[in-house]
Amino acid sequence: MAELSVSSMNGLSVSYGSSVDLAGSSTGPRNGRRNGSAMSVLELIDRENDNRFLLRENGDLASNAKDDEKRNIKRRSLSFWGSLRNVVRFRNAVDVRKKKVSRPMERRDSFMERFTTRQRDILPTQDVSKEDDSHDPRDMKDIGASSDLFVVHPDENFNFYWSMVITAAVIYNWWVIIARQAWEDLQDNYTALWFTLDYTSDFIYLADIVVQLRTGYLEHGILVKDSKKLAIHYVKTKYFKIDVLSLLPMDLLYLAIGDVKPMLRFPRFLKVYRFKQLYYMVETRTAHPNIWRVMNLQHLLFLLIHWFAAIYFVISQSVGFGNGEWAYPEPIGEYGSLTRKYLWCVYWSTLTMTTIGDLPSPEANGE
């Protein structure tokens, strides 16, 4: 005996009591009717299961359809915004190309051209003669006056290279004049060469005045290019006075003395400020400023040794060669050659400046 209970989806409950053989056989005629009822209940169960499955499948299909519809809407939206973005990009590209094409025909701003510090890049496709003639004649006059040629920018390469040239002339005067004055053999043996170099350096000094008259300066952050303003600005500086004094024609005293005395050219030493300017220029341009500082220091030390050597020889000459152990020996024989004179004096100057070695004590007041 078995009790069979089935619950439908609608909450109905059906119960039957029967004796059912699992092999499908009945125990009597009454059991046959009960078996038929049991089979109908099993069909109801199968039908209900089928309905549940169909309902679940229909629900899944409906949800999938909604997801597909959402994806399609999103895809259409992205496609719309993508197309709009492409249109905007295309229009921007066209506008930029139009600006590039029309740029050579743009009119220049005369005010900005007058005060700009950048080099002008005149386009070959621009025809200046075809510009509008509606300019004020006074503006055209100002533009012509302001666009002066040969205005040296203080930060351009030309000014840097010219400073190197003028510094070479200054260094020449600082090294050679004192040597020619101390060792007369050096002056007498190469007189033509020294006159040529002297007046070449004088010409460079004179050309430097012209360059500085045309060197621009910044006024309120704008490069001044007006010729009159540049000349007035340079004349009012102390450098103009120094440049004029450094070119005093003291060489004319050669005629009055009747002999060549190179130290009469001492005003050329005043131009040393140009060497200082070059020093700062190189220091700001080089990638190794410490090396440049060491080189400059060594140059100054050698220049001092050179000057003290010349002074030592002049003092020895004034007190008398060979007069005591301190003065230079009598310039006879091996001591009479120019090379021996210079090296002996440089040796003495080096020992004196570095305070090394055992030097003889001076005997006279001049020594």
Q: What does the pLDDT read at residue 354?
A: 87
Report which of residues 119 and 95 the model is more confident about. Answer: 95
pLDDT band at 364 (very low <50, low <70, confident <90, very high): confident
Q: Name the amino acid, one letter, at 149.
A: L
Q: How many CB atoms lie within 10 A of CB 364?
A: 13
Q: Name the amino acid, one letter, at 76.
A: R
Mean pLDDT of the chain: 77
- How far, in whole angstroms, is CA 228 from its chain's centroid? 33
Helix axes 289-319, 273-285, angle to 10 degrees: 160
Can you give the pTM of this predicted structure? 0.59
Tokens of 336: 């009479």
Residues facing residue 4 across a β-bridge: 16
Q: Is the separation of the CB atoms in 321 and 328 below 8 Å?
A: yes
pLDDT band at 24 (very low <50, low <70, confident <90, very high): very low
What is the rounded (10 degree) CA torsion for 187, 188, 190, 196?
70
Q: What does the pLDDT read at residue 215?
A: 92
In angstroms, the CA 246 to CA 240 distance is 10
Report which of residues 340 and 148 the model is more confident about. Answer: 340
pLDDT tens track for 286-331? 999 999 999 999 999 999 999 999 999 999 999 888 888 888 999 8
Q: What does the pLDDT read at residue 363?
A: 74
